Structure 1
Amino acid sequence: MLRIHFTGLDLARVRIAARPDALWESILSFHRLRDKQGASIYGRWRCETRTRLNGETRLLASLVPPRGYFPDFLTPPEGVLGVEPAIEALREIPAHRLNRDLSQLAGMRTRPGWVHALGDGDTGSLSRLIGALRSYHRAAIAPYWPHIRAQIEADRAARGRALLDGGADRLLNSLPQMIRWRSPVLETDYPVDRDLYLGGRGLLLLPSFFCRRTPVTFHDRDLTPTLVYPVQHGTESVPGAPVHAYTGDVCSLGKLVGHTRSVVLQTIGAGCTTGELARRVGVSAASASQHASVLRDAGLVVTLRHGNAVLHTLTPLGAALLRGGAAAVPALSETVRS
């Protein structure tokens, strides 16, 4: 079990990551690629991704074992800005930090020569790692990014609503069931027994599409306290479902989906429950639920259970539709090769 100890200042400094983290999703997806669990969510993604990989897994497996510790430096905070800013941050990590993090692997596995060289600050080995990470991300994450982002945005909307409704206490109580808030300690299922004292630094909550069963945090207690936790998955979030791009203008929205449904889509905006949607649009709860279901099936809306209600939020495609069109979103079955 992991126990995270809060002070009053820590509660005031709880925050939710602004967007998905490209490298956390990459590393955690590498775990999902090698296990056989969660087939209904990850099965098709595994099949499609494996056809695009070209040796990256052999190199990454040297640093990321099937379970347990992997080096903290693989997930720099710049990952929330995208894969390229994260990779640039990775280039700047000093050799002593690389060596320290890699030393945690020493007792767990035999390390190949290039990993030893990486710990010694060899730039060629670092470039080799960066090339593998970039290529893996291109194959396993980039084609699915709109769906990953949509599911994480839905979770952010639910957590944000909890924060607005009841402050940090309600937010911490709203987290997935394997995480339990027993003030002033946040307990969560974890592979090892561990205590983390925040000491006034607060906690960054990072929802993740590829995190599964138990949350993850940094091994190094001096890094920004971060809790990566799994989002709630629905069938509409399964990678591999087709996505269609819309390139019309906003005036055509009513013609495309019908006047009432276009109003429903606009009303959902940053998120609302079925009851709120019904009141704002002036339809019955059953009708609002039906409209939201159709929009969800079209990939425009994500629905997430929030307490006793369900919360609807726009996907990136739905938001682009309201903006009057955006760059085409690739189909998840589209092949992307390095």
Structure 2
Amino acid sequence: MNNMIDVKKLRKEFQSHSSRQGLKGAFRDLFTRNYKTLTAVNDISFTIKRGEMVGYIGENGAGKSTTIKMLTGILTPTAGEITINGMNPHKEREKFVNTIGVVFGQRSQLWWDIAVQESFRLLKKVYKVSDEDYESHMNHVIETLDIGPLLDKPVRKLSLGQRMRCELAAALIHNPPLLFLDEPTIGLDVLVKLKIRRFLKEINEKYGTTILLTTHDLSDIEALCERVIMLDDGKIIYDGQLDDLRENWGEGKQIEFQFAKPVQLNEVEKLTNSEQIVWSHGNTSSQLIANVRDDEEVSTLVATVVSKFDITGVKMNEISTEEIVRSIYEEGVVNG
């Protein structure tokens, strides 16, 4: 069986209490309540092959975390089928959890008041990992993530970056074939992010670990994943190669204009009125950025702006993956 994850028509609905207005409505709510159904995940289907590293992205409320919780067995689907490594996460819960590792960026699996290595020992017993396997595998993990000096410290005394490296190590104690990462680099500095990315690439290459990564930091996706699944309002709107996404949507240029003095956004929008040009604010009040989708409009745009404003600098870049994704969400394009 080549697929690690097989999802068919997966749906998750939640019942939400809808309060009536006014005092009379509040009184009626005491006896009978109105409920409305919210669909967090709406009949999605996808497969992930063994050894793949896939980015699972979407805006807040798109349904990413709900999907991960169903795939890990935390939530039961309203409808649909999930098969992971030949198992149903809900019906074979005990057997299933021994084959996955999970890291939630905002939730810890380590014990707060005891030393990191004590948490590791407890997890080793939970997963029934032999001393030999633990030593051979975890020595490499500890060295690669550079957490040796942290093992004697209580988790509560670790910085966020230190804790996340330890969380990642804890998720890999039993060397699972599948790793779920939900916002693993949230709030981390650049050096820690680079260290975690290098480590994830290494375990993917060395052990063939399948990784499903959800994150708002698209630089993580670019560094690790060749394939991306994009979710919007509970539905998949893109599932394919990241390179194809750039090729199909990354046409045009991003031009940074540095003005001699602050300029209002609406001033340049009126001057360069075109559906192919989208303006946004830069890092300062004197910097504006134009995303130009049609390469043929670039020279005209630069000439127009330079002729009307005092410009101190112009910088041209390829349109970033972040801008491409934002464009897709704004235009609501569905990939069939």
TM-score by length of 1: 0.28
Question: Larger % of helix: which?
Answer: 1
Question: Larger % of strand: which?
Answer: 2
Q: Which has the larger radius of gyration?
A: 2
Larger RCO: 1 or 2 (CA < 8 Å, sep 6+): 1
